[in-house]
Structure 1
Amino acid sequence: MQSKILPPSLQPGDLLRVIAPSGALREFEAFGRSLEIWRSHGYRIEVIPNIDEKWGYLAGKDENRRQQLAAAWQDPECRGILCTRGGFGSTRILEDWSWQSLNNPIIPKWLIGFSDITTLLWSLYAAGISSVHAPVLTTLVDEPDWSIQRLFDLLEGRPLAPLKGCAWGGGVVSGILLPSNLTVATHLLATPIQPNLDGVILAWEDVTEAPYRIDRMLTQWRLSGALAKVRGIALGSFTRCEAPPNIPSFSVEEVLRDRLGNLDIPIVSDLPFGHGSPNAALPVGVLATLDADQGVLSINM
């Protein structure tokens, strides 16, 4: 099994482009403070004009957001792409999209984000390029110091410490790590964006999804056959995923155990990534080891 192409490591002084491929920017104070974190590490940051553009719940019309992404990807000076926020919208800009058509030969660069940005991360993975599942520019400022340092360690080519979670048992497995937001990834099943899932370790997180909706999504994964050759599952935080009050329900933890516990693959839960803090940076498309007896996820970059 081959890992994907790693873009060149970043170093202070590199130019990074800020784009808004998904939801409309609302959290301006957090956005500004997160930009300062990047600048304080020595990076040159270029924010696209009209970063606060709105078209309904989207950060501008599809063609405008698509052009932002294409321009950043094709800019030879730009070494990385920072996403403002998630929400919804990145899937729309990937209709009739091809990374290969933007550069020939394709020139990889880091793309950084999570939540709705899952669509871009998975699309790049399918094109053979690694990216980073990590805080966006409206959430980075809320991260603890160790999580922020982990992001820069990843991008600048330093080793990453293992993450510790709750061991479900099932042994130790190695595979290509594929992090995502569960809801977004579920909606990519059976689309051209869905990558080959054979031999991967899926890493899932989510936010504000009631337990019955988590159940519905996991049941779709089971029925679709998409889990047939997955090697392991790493579960992050499922933030604010409680049932509505006064309605009979399982807890989200019970749903996860019920829908995943009989797959006979290694599973580790409660790992520190996802919505809320901390959201530990995870590379997409690199070899990882999941120890479901010790509850540890290790990155083998």
Structure 2
Amino acid sequence: MSTIRLIAPSGFCVNQAAAARGIERLKAAGHRVENQSVVTRRFQRFAGTDDQRLADIQDLSALPNECDIVLAVRGGYGASRLLENIEYSSLGHAFHERTPIICGHSDFTAIQLALLSQTGAITFSGPMLAGNFGADELNSFTWQHFWQAITEPQFTLTWQSPTPACSASGTLWGGNLAMLVSMLGSPWLNVIDGGILVVEDINEHPFRVERLLLQLHHAGILARQKALILGSFNGATLSDYDGGYDFDEMCRMLEQRLSIPVLRGLPFGHEPETVTLPLGAFGELQHDGQTASLTVSGHPVIR
């Protein structure tokens, strides 16, 4: 049994029923869920005032020993407002003594990358309370892989990617693409050199995804990576105006333009079925031209 502390540093949880389902599922699995009041907390479009949401993050420096998982309620927007006021030194000191499992994605990527850059803390880009654990139908793969990722010191993912064969190893990092790009040039993002960059997004037309990735390319960041892995990019609507331009065409352009391997198809992001990835852990990538495997190690686990 784990003790799970909920945090809500981003948008207000519109789907209260989903959050309630998520809490009940976690409790039914034998876990204790704390700080449930953040689910209903609201200020304008946010899950509370800036000070309230900042406290969700800052309070992680004083977690009781029995609390081993910190779970974001949902994404949305609001994390970017908090970055300049987080006391990273106190969090870094606490995480040096004991790093809890901290999990979320989407807007939460901003806080995850800031924590990695400022404290070295490895956090998990994975399911959240409302959208994943509170879905109408719980995805068994998402549930099982979350628990595998946070309990096994090494695990391997396999998926299909019809791209040229390659191999690479380095630090896993990334998360939500738009949030990553929004942090470029800020003191809260230290770009990982020699890493394996894994990104995802939702409701972004392929040309917008291309523009974000080209920003990383023009900034010299992609050339400093060992590989780029594209996760889920769903929710966009194409039109006749696109004239055949789609996500596959965008990927082909990237493969031609970039000097690093570009893989796709990893079930990672805003999908019912998603893997859980520790940002800041070590990854070993092998790809034979059809099947890719990623072995992950060096991340915190529940003992």
Answer yes or no: same fold by TM over 0.5.
Answer: yes
Question: Does structure 1 residue 279 correspond to structure 2 residue 261?
Answer: no
Contact 1:181 1:206 in 2 (8 A): yes
Question: Does structure 1 residue 247 correspond to structure 2 residue 235?
Answer: no
The match for 1:151 is 146
Larger fraction in helix:
2
Contact 1:119 1:184 in 2 (8 A): yes
TM-score, with normalisation over the residues of structure 2?
0.88
How far apart, in 2, do the equivalents of 1:183 and 1:15 lie? 31
SS at match of 1:220: helix
The match for 2:87 is 98
Query: Cα distance, 1:246 vs. partner?
Result: 4.1
Q: For 1:194-213, what per-residue CA distance to the aligned partner results, in whole angstroms no more than 9, with x for missing partners?
A: 22320110111110011221
How far apart, in 2, do the equivalents of 1:294 and 1:266 lie? 13
The match for 1:123 is 114
SS at match of 1:296: strand
TM-score, with normalisation over the residues of structure 1?
0.88
Aligned counterpart in structure 1 of residue 103 of structure 2, from 112, 117, 124: 112
From the superposition, tell whether residues 45 and 199 of structure 1 become closer, same or farther in structure 2 (CA, over 3 Å): same
SS at match of 1:247: helix
How far apart, in 1, do the equivalents of 2:177 and 2:151 lie? 28
Q: Which amino acid aligns with 2:190?
A: P
The match for 1:24 is 12
Q: Which amino acid aligns with 1:15?
A: T
Q: Which runs of structure 2 are paired with 1:17-96 in the superposition (5 Å)?
A: 17-77=5-65, 78-96=67-85
How far apart, in 2, do the equivalents of 1:36 and 1:79 lie? 18
The match for 1:138 is 130
Structure 2: runs of 5 or more not aligned: 298-303
Aligned counterpart in structure 1 of residue 199 of structure 2, from 200, 204, 212: 204
Q: Which amino acid aligns with 1:138?
A: A
SS at match of 1:160: strand
Contact 2:4 2:34 in 1 (8 A): yes
SS at match of 2:184: coil
From the superposition, tell whether residues 209 and 46 of structure 1 become closer, same or farther in structure 2 (CA, over 3 Å): same
Q: Which runs of structure 2 are paired with 1:253-292 in the superposition (5 Å)?
A: 253-292=248-287
Aligned counterpart in structure 1 of residue 166 of structure 2, from 163, 166, 171: 171
Q: For 1:12-62, what per-residue CA distance to the aligned partner results, in whole angstroms no more than 9, with x for missing partners?
A: 2x3221011101101112212222232233221102435322222211111
Q: Which amino acid aligns with 2:53?
A: R
How far apart, in 1, do the equivalents of 2:261 and 2:213 lie? 16
